[in-house]
Amino acid sequence: MANPTYAALLEEAQELGRLDGALAAALEVPDTGIPTGERCLGRTPPEFARLLWEGRPGDPPTGLEVNAPLWYATGFAEGVAVPGVQLCGAWTGRGAVAPAPRQGRIVHR
């Protein structure tokens, strides 16, 4: 996607959260808790926004720094809540292992 919309960047943040949540659930990490958006993929909100904005000119929009961590946290909660997610072991390039695609769903990478 050459020029993703702001909404597409937020959806990417949510999908990254889902992947991390699914990984945490699969590894049965105790007391994972629901992320607050303070850390996303081990990054601060400004670092996470820059990761999503990677390869684009200029600085990421301020709203991305504020909202992307919240979308990540929502996706993480969704990933943890999905029972029986199987990991396929595919490296996503963003620090997470992708769950095996479900019927009729494309896994965003």
pTM: 0.70
- Name the one residue in this structure whose structure tokens are 């996706």: 75
Residue 107 or residue 54, greater confidence:
54
Measured in whole angstroms, the distance separating CA 67 from the mean position of its chain's CA atoms is 13
What percent of the chain lies above the pLDDT cut of 90?
39
pLDDT per position as a tens digit, 83-103: 655 555 444 444 444 444 444
Mean of the pLDDT values across residues 16-34? 79
Mean pLDDT, rounded, of the chain? 76
Range 62-66, long-range pairs (CB < 8 A, 24+ positions): 63/6, 64/6, 64/9, 64/10
Cβ contact 45:68 at 8 Å: yes
- Domain residue extents for the chain: 6-99
- The H or E element spanning position 91 is strand 87-91
